[in-house]
Chain A
Amino acid sequence: MARGTLLSERGSVPDDPVAVFEHVEQQGWGDGLPVIPPTEERVQAMLDASPLPPAHVVAVVEPRRGEATVEKIAVNAVMAGCAPAVFPALLAAVGAVTDPQFNLYALNTTTCCATPALMLNGPARQALGIECGYSCLGHNGRANATLGRALRLVMRNVGGSIPGAVTKSVFGQPGRVSLCFGEWEERSPWPPFHVRRGFAAADSTVTAVCATGTQDIADIWAETGEELIWVLAHSIDWIGNNKVLVRQEQGDMLLLLCPDFAHKIARDGISVPQMQRMLLEWTRTPIERWHRAHWPKLEQRGYVEGNVVPLAARPEQFLIAVAGGESGHHALYFCTFGLTWSVTKRFILDASWTDGESCPLPDTPPTSSRP
């Protein structure tokens, strides 16, 4: 339990939700939504969920190069509405997005709308109540909403990601408030994402993918896995894709399949590596899809092979995971910002947070889609 002296400056605000909300917005600390006042007691409760001392620096957050101490992260976690149990996952998420591979400096300053999409794996999903199924990417579940939001507040308040002044994202996007879900491992026909990355099934991990948003891919006609992968491939190879702006060998992108899609593909004996190879091959886009004036620009950059422009260079750049409701018919594509790689970090929950908390298993009535 990380009891220790808190170093943050104390402020006094009338004990009124609206007054607190207005104060936070006036200070530029918020995201436009109400916050929970980060009182000393609440911050201490958050700190109790980690063995790290409050002054421990988890990461330096670009571009302001602010020090994300455990205490500062806890303050933002309280503001976002996190339950203390979520705090270890948030610390791991901060570690993931500040890993040099993720390239947070670029994300926090680009004109693009990219934002970290957080995917949780492992037993922590159950302990924390992370939604993996129906509407897991929005309006379903406190843990999903507040974990993603807390990370964004850390990026803003520690990293200086202030719209207009520092971040030049032309539009932003709803995912810049929160974008977090769990893989529904129990409804996947394949090993969980984190296991495919070399972690143990019993490990809990958070993966950060730098995504320009979520693009729906719908299909009701594919009868085979191959047909379905064809639909997926030709739904992600559009020429305005931010991925096209960078070299093929840069960046990885996530395809999130609903359980129905995943089982249709697996039923036909197609493994994840096979699917990745098919996606690589079928996203080699004929150059004729670009205006002729673009051709020399693509060629100058070395993006053209023969008469095609490949979306990626290696199968592993297509990340595959399973989530979403049982109603089927949809996948989501998380187009990559490009100059970035996804990062997975392991975290450990204090046993006291996992005891006695349970979520419905997949076979229970569909009142919830938690694992």
Chain B
Amino acid sequence: MVTAVFENLARTAARAQGYPDLRMLVLPHPMESRAESAVREIARERFAALIALVAEEG
């Protein structure tokens, strides 16, 4: 999981570590300044997408 602003960095780091096709779930940025209720709402919204990414073949 990565917030949107850091997506390029995450892909660069993944390539550098030998995982160019690493699956990522991109979340809104920033996260720290949101209220806990808002973060929980994002988590609920994106949970299914996260499970789908983890369960994906290959």
> Nearest B residue to A111 by beta-carbon distance?
B5
Query: Which of B7-15, B37-45, B47-55 lies at the binding interface?
Result: B7-15
- Interface contact A168-B9, CB-CB below 8 Å: yes
List the B residue with the shortest CB-CB distance to A297.
B32
Total chain B interface residues with beta-carbon distance under 8 A:
8
Q: How far is the CA of A156 from the CA of B8 in the complex (A)?
A: 15
Beta-carbon nearest neighbor of A245 in chain B: B32
Query: Are A166 and B9 touching (Cβ within 8 A)?
Result: yes
A side interface size, CB within 8 A: 10
Residues of A within 8 A of B6 (CB): 109, 168
A189 at the interface (CB under 8 A from B): no
Nearest CB on A from B22, distance (A): 14
* Assembled-state Cα–Cα distance A57/B9 (Å): 24
In the complex, which residues of chain A have a beta carbon less than 8 angstroms from the beta carbon of B12?
A: 63-64, 160, 165-166
Residues in chain B near residue A166, CB distance under 8 A: 8-9, 12
Per DSSP, are chain B's interface residues mostly helix, strand or loop, or mixed? helix
Q: Within 8 Å CB of B13, what residues of A?
A: 63
CB interface residues, B 26-40, toward A, < 8 Å: none
Query: Hey, which chain B residues are within 8 Å of A62, CB to CB?
Result: 16
| A267 within 8 A of partner (CB) | no
What residues on B are CB-neighbors of A64 within 8 Å?
12, 16
In the docked arrangement, what's the CA distance between A109 and B8, Å?
A: 11
- Chain A, Cβ-Cβ closest to B17: A65
Residue in A65, A165, A167, A168 whose beta carbon sits within 8 Å of that of B16 in the complex: A65
Residue contacts A-B, CB under 8 angstroms, 13 given? A63-B9, A63-B13, A64-B12, A64-B16, A65-B17, A109-B9, A160-B12, A160-B16, A165-B12, A166-B9, A166-B12, A168-B6, A168-B9
A residues neighboring B (CB under 8 Å): 62-65, 109, 160, 165-168
User: Which residues of B pack against A, CB within 8 Å?
Assistant: 5-6, 8-9, 12-13, 16-17
Q: What 10 pairs between A and B have smallest CB-CB spacing?
A: A65-B16, A165-B8, A63-B13, A166-B9, A109-B9, A64-B16, A166-B12, A168-B5, A63-B12, A160-B12
